[in-house]
Amino acid sequence: MGHGVSCARTGDEHDYFRAAQLGDLDALTALLAADPSLALRATLYDRLSALHIAAANGRLEVLSMILDRGVPPDAVNRHKQTPLMLAAMHGKIDCLLKLLQAGANILMFDSVHGRTCLHHAAYFGHVDCLQAILSAAQTTPVADSWGFARFVNVRDDHGATPLHLAARQGRPGCVQVLLENGAIVSALTGSYGFPGSTSLHLAARSGSLDCIRKLLAWGADRLQRDSAGRIPYAVALKRNHGACAALLNPSSAEPMVWPSPLKFISELDPEAKALLEAALMEANKEREKKILNGTKFSLPSPSHCDDDDANIVDDTSSEVSDTELCCICFDQACTIEVEDCGHQMCAPCTLALCCHSKPNPTTLTLPSPACPFCRGSISRLLVARTSTATAGDPDKPASPQLARRRSRRSHNLSEGSSSFKGLSSAMGSLSLSKLGLGSSRTVDSDIGDLDKPEHDL
Ligand SMILES: [Zn+2]
Ligand SMILES: [Zn+2]
């Protein structure tokens, strides 16, 4: 077998591949019973095995049946593409998972552009496949031999990482997942696109506002030039992506950026992270509105003020009174709790505390944020538990929904650039006694002229 040439190419073989494509398990079983060697055949020109065909067409039963017969999962076609790559290209998550489970190698490179399955998932925008491959990368030998971080940033023959491809193709979901898994936001391409492009250049080229938002929120540099000397702004202008250009214009307000030590984020409690993420997106959206205001590019504005929303806010007003008000902004409810000291504040204030406008390119290290109330170091951020005893279940976290609704109210976080430094110096001017160390109700009477310090000084 393996050298099944001309004379061996029978009608059976044609039927076999056809059955794999259609997911006709009965026909396939009968054909294999008659000629078991069919299992290892490939189509004449493209060298597609039945596994390739099943994976590309999402035929899970066929795929499973062939794998169960002991056929190795990593056969390659004419372009050195594995069934896993085809599943990733076509977004066939069930087949992809089955192949991973069967031990398919995630670190194979095709001969077209030298791309891995991760590249293909990112390029075609299949977030679920991307995530599955990344989880596999954490548990398979790839993690030991290559290291997970290196795999996330694996380059193709043209120096393109999966993040570059996702940005170029306008795949914000994939951009997000890759960034959260350690994709380097400032990585330059080799010869892909214009040489020396960043993901921000490529997102500017594709005109994807969502990708640009995410990249900027992860610290992408608007001033980085490609080998032709162009900043992403110039790329967006040239492609007539006006709204993108407005955000990329170096003279427009800097967006808020996630805290640079990624470790800090990955250690975040998922609920706390969701709250902070919502606060960050909200803040940046407010900022965008200002940037785009007066230009002809207006964003679809979220319906803040419709009647339904007003009713929802009213419904929650009793809950609001049960919740501690944030002692920094005196505007929003405390939703985040600092460990180990237990001080609480709202998500936007926490974000302002941990954010800085740009990662320091030279040191890459930041003074780790401290609790603004006691100056103690922050070991973890958690969703605040409601402190009132009436809440009944003290273990029940504050509703993220509630917090999000509240964060929709106008919030001055959106202006200018916020930095930990700015906030901490602002906090320095407030005496601890006036802050009331977390019990906001004692503060209300003697707050005087300290009300609502800016988040972003
Ligand atoms: Zn606050
Ligand atoms: Zn504290």
* 321 shares a domain with 180: no
Average pLDDT value for residue range 53-59:
97
**Cβ neighbour number for residue 405 with a 10 Å cutoff:** 16
The bound ligand whose nearest atom lies closest to the alpha carbon of 329 is 1
**Cβ neighbour number for residue 52 with a 10 Å cutoff:** 26
Mean pLDDT is highest, among 34-43, 51-60, 243-252, for 51-60
User: From CA 278, how far away is CA 382, in angstroms rounded?
Assistant: 15
* 293 shares a domain with 217: no
The full 3-state SS of 381-446, as one line of letters, equals: EEECECCCHHHCCCCCECCHHHHHHHHCCCCHHHCCCCCHHHHHHHHHCCCHHHHHHHCHHHCHHH
24 Rama sector, left if φ>0, alpha if ψ -120 to 50, beta otherwise: beta
| 437 C-alpha to ligand 1 centroid (Å) | 14
The bound ligand whose nearest atom lies closest to the alpha carbon of 374 is 2
The bound ligand whose nearest atom lies closest to the alpha carbon of 432 is 2
The bound ligand whose nearest atom lies closest to the alpha carbon of 379 is 2
Q: Report the domain count for the chain.
A: 2
| 364 C-alpha to ligand 1 centroid (Å) | 27
User: Is 0.85 surpassed by the pTM of this model?
Assistant: no
Average pLDDT value for residue range 353-370:
58
| 340 C-alpha to ligand 2 centroid (Å) | 7
The bound ligand whose nearest atom lies closest to the alpha carbon of 348 is 1
| 335 C-alpha to ligand 2 centroid (Å) | 14
191 token code pair = 């010869």
Question: Which residues have CB less than 5 Å away from ligand 1 (the ion)?
Answer: 326, 328-329, 332, 346, 349
Whether 456 is covered by a domain: the verdict is: no
User: From CA 29, how far away is CA 36, in angstroms rounded?
Assistant: 10
How confident is residue 427, by pLDDT bands cut at 50, 70 and 90? Answer: very low
Average pLDDT value for residue range 298-327:
50
Last residue of a domain, one of 248, 270, 294: 248
| 342 C-alpha to ligand 2 centroid (Å) | 6
Per-residue b or e along 339-376, where b marks 16 or more CB atoms closer than 10 Å to that residue's CB: eebbbbbbbbbbbbbbbbbebeeeeeebeebbbbbbee
Whether 1 is covered by a domain: the verdict is: no
φ, ψ at 393 (rounded to 5°): -100, 105
pLDDT of residue 262 exceeding 50, the answer is: no
User: From CA 127, how far away is CA 91, in angstroms rounded?
Assistant: 8
Specify the range with the lowest mean pLDDT, choosing from 174-188, 217-231, 386-400: 386-400
| 377 C-alpha to ligand 2 centroid (Å) | 8
* 157 shares a domain with 39: yes
Higher pLDDT, 73 or 140: 73
| 341 C-alpha to ligand 2 centroid (Å) | 4
Specify the range with the lowest mean pLDDT, choosing from 10-24, 70-84, 205-219, 405-419: 405-419
| 356 C-alpha to ligand 1 centroid (Å) | 17
The bound ligand whose nearest atom lies closest to the alpha carbon of 345 is 1
Whether 197 is covered by a domain: the verdict is: yes
**Cβ neighbour number for residue 267 with a 10 Å cutoff:** 12
Last residue of a domain, one of 223, 248, 273: 248
* 389 shares a domain with 345: yes
Amino acid identity at 373: F
Whether 396 is covered by a domain: the verdict is: yes
| 270 C-alpha to ligand 2 centroid (Å) | 21
Per-residue b or e along 306-332, where b marks 16 or more CB atoms closer than 10 Å to that residue's CB: eeeeeeeeeebeeeeeebbbbbbbbbb
* 306 shares a domain with 216: no
* 91 shares a domain with 228: yes
The bound ligand whose nearest atom lies closest to the alpha carbon of 328 is 1
User: From CA 386, how far away is CA 440, in angstroms rounded?
Assistant: 13
| 172 C-alpha to ligand 1 centroid (Å) | 29
CATH of residue 439? 3.30.40.10
The bound ligand whose nearest atom lies closest to the alpha carbon of 334 is 1
Residue with tokens 């980085």: 224
Q: Going by DSSP bridges, is the β-strand pair 380-383/344-345 parallel, antiparallel, or unpaired?
A: unpaired
CATH of residue 110? 1.25.40.20
| 416 C-alpha to ligand 2 centroid (Å) | 26
Cβ 349 vs Cβ 325: under 8 Å: no
The bound ligand whose nearest atom lies closest to the alpha carbon of 378 is 2
Whether 401 is covered by a domain: the verdict is: yes
pLDDT of residue 298 exceeding 50, the answer is: yes
The bound ligand whose nearest atom lies closest to the alpha carbon of 331 is 1
User: From CA 159, how far away is CA 390, in angstroms rounded?
Assistant: 58
φ, ψ at 158 (rounded to 5°): -105, 10
* 345 shares a domain with 196: no
**Structural domain span for residue 187:** 6-248
User: From CA 132, how far away is CA 301, in angstroms rounded?
Assistant: 34
Whether 113 is covered by a domain: the verdict is: yes
Whether 455 is covered by a domain: the verdict is: no
* 299 shares a domain with 242: no
Residues in the chain: 457
| 332 C-alpha to ligand 1 centroid (Å) | 5
Per-residue b or e along 167-183, where b marks 16 or more CB atoms closer than 10 Å to that residue's CB: bbbbbbbbbbbbbbbbb
Amino acid identity at 80: K
Last residue of a domain, one of 193, 222, 248: 248
Whether 37 is covered by a domain: the verdict is: yes
User: From CA 151, how far away is CA 52, in angstroms rounded?
Assistant: 23
The bound ligand whose nearest atom lies closest to the alpha carbon of 375 is 2
* 380 shares a domain with 294: yes
148 token code pair = 């997970």
The bound ligand whose nearest atom lies closest to the alpha carbon of 327 is 1
φ, ψ at 135 (rounded to 5°): -65, -40
Q: State the pLDDT at residue 54.
A: 96
How confident is residue 340, by pLDDT bands cut at 50, 70 and 90? Answer: confident
pLDDT of residue 267 exceeding 70, the answer is: no
The bound ligand whose nearest atom lies closest to the alpha carbon of 454 is 1
* 171 shares a domain with 33: yes
* 328 shares a domain with 244: no
* 175 shares a domain with 84: yes
